[in-house]
């Protein structure tokens, strides 16, 4: 699992119709620490240039300072630590299958999935 749906997580913690009151705070803190990143923000950050990325980081920081609550109700979030780990595994897999560094950068789909 590389992403989570907050409403699903909340429903999993629900017992006898009640959810822990601290869940909102936990999600807010994980988002502030950038351990959870909305899929839209993550996709955008992967496609943007350094200049636009810096501008968006500055504006989002200012926005987060002005707003008291981060909206997490209906968004899907990427778990950054897991994405980073998986990316490292992919890189290691690619490097372990390379015979000639400049020419042999293609591996089979089965090797990639493993």
pTM: 0.56
Q: What Å distances lie between residue 1 and 5, 15, 49, 55, 92, CA to CA?
A: 11, 23, 28, 30, 20
User: What distance in Å separates the CA atoms of residue 30 and residue 61, rounded to the nearest whole number?
Assistant: 15
Burial of 27 (0-12, 13-18, 19+ CB in 10 A): buried
Q: What is the pLDDT of residue 112?
A: 63
Is residue 99 scored above 50 in pLDDT?
yes
Q: What is the pLDDT of residue 66?
A: 45
Whole-number average pLDDT of the chain: 74
Q: How far apart, in Å, do the first and last CA atoms of the chain sit?
A: 15
Report residue 46's pLDDT band, with 50, 70 and 90 as the boundaries: low
User: What distance in Å separates the CA atoms of residue 57 and residue 86, rounded to the nearest whole number?
Assistant: 24
Phi first, then psi, for residue 105 (nearest 5°) are: -110, 15
The rounded Cα 92 to chain-centroid distance in angstroms is 20
Which of the listed ranges 12-21, 49-58, 97-106 does the model predict with the highest average pLDDT? Answer: 12-21
């Amino acid at each position: 699992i590389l992403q989570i749906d907050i409403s699903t997580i909340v429903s999993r913690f629900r017992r006898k119709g009640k959810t822990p009151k601290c869940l909102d705070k936990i999600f807010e803190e994980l988002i502030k620490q950038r351990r959870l990143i909305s899929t839209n923000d993550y996709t955008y950050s992967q496609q943007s240039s350094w200049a636009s990325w810096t501008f968006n980081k500055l504006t989002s920081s200012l926005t987060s300072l002005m707003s008291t609550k981060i909206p997490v109700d209906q968004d899907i979030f990427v778990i950054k630590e897991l994405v980073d780990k998986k990316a490292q595994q992919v890189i290691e897999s690619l490097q372990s299958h390379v015979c000639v560094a400049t020419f042999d950068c293609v591996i089979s789909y089965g090797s990639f999935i493993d």
